[in-house]
């Protein structure tokens, strides 16, 4: 798996090959197929591991009692992960491994990601920090869409998204403004310090 991730990072999804991995390890070209049915099965295992790392990065946001700050921290961790592990991020959230329910572990990991957002929104409802603009599921998916959009713009269109500004600062500003629109008191989020999780390994 470590070698497969190395190939993913250096060559991208298109360059990753079970046969090439076998040659580099020094085993028969059929040996990897004892562990993975095909290349997509290997990619799914890599993506699932990516989610595990992402969840570790988000742990601090889950432990934050303030719902608005928790969502901000989640968003900053999401952007940080995308920046640190770009190829893995594209694999985890991109179109290669579709339909997702063909890969049960990966499908479950993806659902866990949105459940983490839902938990933050629900906590905000209960503490009257987040306005109930819609049901929990709809609002959680809206938050996720906004956070993912910020991360994707930062990765793929940094020159226009940042417009010669510091990209990390621009991403934080975007997330703060998005969350402010959900809050019962929009001024609160501007006063809160950004406390992102520790850097991913």
Give the residue, 123 or 188, on which the prediction is more confident: 123
The C-alpha atoms of residue 46 and residue 91 are separated, in whole angstroms, by 8
Q: What is the model's pTM?
A: 0.86
DSSP notation for 76-99: HHHHHHHHHSHHHHHHHHSSSS-S
Domain segments of the chain as ranges = 58-191
Local confidence band at 3 (pLDDT 50, 70, 90 cut-offs)? confident
Q: Which pLDDT belongs to residue 163?
A: 64
Query: pLDDT tens digit string along 140-161?
Result: 999 999 999 999 998 888 777 7
Whether 33 has a pLDDT exceeding 80, the answer reads: no
Q: Please identify, in words, the CATH class of the domain defined by 58-191.
A: mainly alpha
The C-alpha atoms of residue 184 and residue 162 are separated, in whole angstroms, by 29
Whether 83 has a pLDDT exceeding 80, the answer reads: yes
Whether 201 has a pLDDT exceeding 70, the answer reads: no
Q: Which pLDDT belongs to residue 164?
A: 60
Cα 166 → chain centroid:
21
Among 78-82, 110-114, 137-141, 166-170, the range scoring the smallest mean pLDDT is 166-170
Q: Which pLDDT belongs to residue 34?
A: 60
Q: Measuring CA to CA, which residue among 111, 113, 122 is closest to residue 182?
A: 122
């Amino acid at each position: 798996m470590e070698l497969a991730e190395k190939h993913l990072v250096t060559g991208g999804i298109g360059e990753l090959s079970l046969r090439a991995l076998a040659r580099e390890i020094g085993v028969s070209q059929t040996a990897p197929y004892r562990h993975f049915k095909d290349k997509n099965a290997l990619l799914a295992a890599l993506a699932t591991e990516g989610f595990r790392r992402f969840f570790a990065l988000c742990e601090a946001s889950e432990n934050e009692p303030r719902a608005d700050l928790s969502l901000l921290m989640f968003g900053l961790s999401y952007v940080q992960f995308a920046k640190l592990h770009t190829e893995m991020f594209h694999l985890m959230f991109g179109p290669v491994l579709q339909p997702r329910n063909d890969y049960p572990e990966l499908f479950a990991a993806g659902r866990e990601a949105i459940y983490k957002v839902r938990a933050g929104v629900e906590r905000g409802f209960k503490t009257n920090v987040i306005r109930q603009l819609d049901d929990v599921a709809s609002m959680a998916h809206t938050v996720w869409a906004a956070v993912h959009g910020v991360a994707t713009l930062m990765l793929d269109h940094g020159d226009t998204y940042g417009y010669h500004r510091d990209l990390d600062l621009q991403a934080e500003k975007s997330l703060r403004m998005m969350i402010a629109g959900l809050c019962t008191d929009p001024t609160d989020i501007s006063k809160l310090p950004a406390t992102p999780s520790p850097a991913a390994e």
